[in-house]
Amino acid sequence: MPERVMKYGGVKFRNLVPPVKINRFVNQLAPDQKDSLFEIAGELSDAGMIEILNERTQSTIDQDTVDTQTPNAGGNTEEVQESNRHL
């Protein structure tokens, strides 16, 4: 299965089971086990449903995921101009 990146966790992972099984698993978790994506990712990893790649620590820093971000070009195929945002 393809690699994914959790947008708000900055963690690269690979599904080891189909997404429908992951959804069912997350839905049955107790509310205190799904307070954050950090906790959910840990539960999924512990259950063997996802593999966290490169042993990356979880982060909310955008700079950690620059290599996997895609600019929102509004469907344009033209080259996107650089923003003034400093990383």
Domain membership of residue 45 (yes or no) is yes
**Which tokens in the block code for residue 42?**
């840990």
Rounded to a whole number of angstroms, the CA Rg of the chain reads: 16
**Which is nearest to 50 in space by CA: 60, 58, 40, 59?**
40
**Which tokens in the block code for residue 51?**
């593999």
Residues 6+ apart with CB under 8 A from 48: 16
Domain membership of residue 17 (yes or no) is yes
Per-residue confidence band for 27, with pLDDT thresholds at 50, 70 and 90: very high
CB–CB of 47/25 below 8 Å?
yes
Domain membership of residue 79 (yes or no) is no
Q: Find the mean pLDDT for residues 22-39.
A: 90
Domain membership of residue 9 (yes or no) is yes
Q: How high is the pLDDT of residue 43?
A: 92
Domain membership of residue 56 (yes or no) is yes
Percent of the chain at pLDDT exceeding 90: 26
pTM: 0.56
**Which is nearest to 58 in space by CA: 42, 80, 76?**
42
**Owning domain of residue 56:** 3-60
Domain membership of residue 25 (yes or no) is yes
Per-residue confidence band for 34, with pLDDT thresholds at 50, 70 and 90: confident
Number of domains, the chain: 1
